[in-house]
Structure 1
């Protein structure tokens, strides 16, 4: 469904300095599957979301790599072609603070008309209204929302409305960047249920869910991928990533979060010391080495490849991690702590 090969993108600052925010990311997500992306603030999660759409505008710039959606390579396409042929139909994107994306002076139905007319200028207003009414009803949103302005909706309702609008054209891939942030627990639950319904009812065929909360991803996604300093440091099934992390950063990330799951919630909170590297001048070796208590001089001088190991969860599936230590050595170290 979506395959990304060695994607590299950068920001160019006012001083003409390059910031390598996404550096050699590869991933694959099959139809019917959901992938979670986790990591601390500034690790490149949101930049990856923007980059995956193939739609670039300053200060974000494409460097190299392939983005393949359903067999079609969208990397390198002209921005206008991406906007008309990809966004909304192939890939839909829900940005952070999406509830603020709605025009406060426009009714929701007018916003939907604008979205659909980009792809189908001839579609009548009646057909658009009927489509929106049916889709909103299926997703548990009342019809009267279509005739309201954004200021008349609560935060949770606005977020659910934005999600419904983003998926009105039934995109193949939905990329959701922190869709439940800034919401109360009840609203978060409704948003997550709505996104599950989109998958179950076939309105979207696969999903990438971005957040800094690993426990949330455990209950929402099939697989989890952890980013650090613009690179993927580990990927596995949701259960493996929460209960059997391999990379020291993933281990530290899990140790710094309150997890209600049995078997993990008894662990004490542990802070990760130090700060991420400056991506204007990324280090030669492992990017986590300065903060890793297991690092050796080799870690700081040698480029670290992505290693594959058999998954315990599914025969034929390989999980990946970026560390010079072997799995056997990692588990020995963790067990002796």
Structure 2
């Protein structure tokens, strides 16, 4: 069963020079009980996409499409409705989670302000739950009485995870939560997210990253974005082992491999630069960087083609409706 269904979503940024088409016709669904990964280069629209589901502030503008969450269209909700479900049904661990907590308040006061806004009246019971959750993420219950500045980066990351999930949201968005962490702490965060699902604290997770190697460890399905468009979507194992889109293959080739020395095999970068989303080119948005470019790529936008069970890619090489 789908917990979230996004259909042809368009989220632009209004600028004096025109609209930046950060998310331009993206469709996908998140099923109950799964971790759904979103990957791509910086600027591909990952964070814009997930933040539009939580809170849209100028210059972000909804230009079209739907995002149906538990029967409600997140795009048409007013501020009161959005505040009601935020952190209780739909929550986010922000990209800069280590700096997301108010430095002037203790952790327990941050949590109390959040819970009180959602109708909680028993502070003692809430603080008991907070200390239990802190212990769950291997933090001392004493952290509840500390200020964020008293915590290390890794501790603040875990404390933010506790705050974001304390009210047991159905869908949790983890936006680049491992990008500023060392490898050991990244593993801890991944294991904690899995644990949150196992014990029923959250039902589903959207995990946003630029690192496909991380998604291989946590995600059930993956969506690859490029320049505001879906390049490929499908089961993680298939996309990692048999990528169908040239962009996905290049992303995978850019990752370091275990046991391979640099002098034997150099890392490959993706040639060129991302296109301007203020005036994106006609046709496939990757064609200016693609090693398999054809004449039609600069004229006709490719459609998603099924290349395997539940596995789709948008590339003229795959034929189908693209021909």
Superposition TM-score, scaled by structure 1 size: 0.89
Aligned to 2:78: 78
Shift of 1:71: 2.4
Aligned to 1:20: 21
Aligned to 1:29: 30
2:92, 2:173 within 8 Å by CA — same for their partners in 1?
yes
Give the 3 Å change call, closer, same or farther, for CA 149–273 of structure 1 in structure 2. same
1:23, 1:230 within 8 Å by CA — same for their partners in 2?
yes
Classify the secondary structure of the residue corresponding to 2:197: helix
Q: State how far apart, in whole Å, the 2-side matches of 1:95 and 1:261 are.
A: 34
Aligned to 1:143: 141
Aligned to 1:118: 117
Aligned to 2:308: 310
Aligned to 1:3: 5
Aligned to 1:314: none
2:13, 2:20 within 8 Å by CA — same for their partners in 1?
yes
Give the 3 Å change call, closer, same or farther, for CA 257–51 of structure 1 in structure 2. same
Superposition TM-score, scaled by structure 2 size: 0.93
Q: State how far apart, in whole Å, the 1-side matches of 2:103 and 2:94 are.
A: 18
Classify the secondary structure of the residue corresponding to 1:325: helix
Classify the secondary structure of the residue corresponding to 1:290: coil
Structure 2: gaps (5+ residues): none
Aligned: 1:51 with 2:52: yes
Aligned to 1:323: 315
Aligned: 1:108 with 2:111: no
Q: State how far apart, in whole Å, the 1-side matches of 2:182 and 2:148 are.
A: 18
Give the 3 Å change call, closer, same or farther, for CA 327–221 of structure 1 in structure 2. farther
2:108, 2:144 within 8 Å by CA — same for their partners in 1?
yes
1:1-337 aligned within 5 A = 1-13=3-15, 15-53=16-54, 55-83=55-83, 85-120=84-119, 122-260=120-258, 268-311=266-309, 318-326=310-318
Deviations 1:179-231 (A, max 9, x none): 11211222212111111111111100000111110011101111111110001
1:310, 1:319 within 8 Å by CA — same for their partners in 2?
yes
Q: State how far apart, in whole Å, the 1-side matches of 2:265 and 2:23 are.
A: 32
1:306, 1:323 within 8 Å by CA — same for their partners in 2?
yes
RMSD (Å), alpha carbons: 1.8
Deviations 1:51-101 (A, max 9, x none): 122x21111111111111122222211123212x22111211111111101
Stretches of 4+ aligned residues off by more than 4 angstroms: none
Structure 1: gaps (5+ residues): 312-317, 329-337
Shift of 1:309: 2.6
1:99, 1:162 within 8 Å by CA — same for their partners in 2?
yes
What is the aligned residue count? Answer: 315
Deviations 1:124-161 (A, max 9, x none): 21121122122223333321110011111110010000
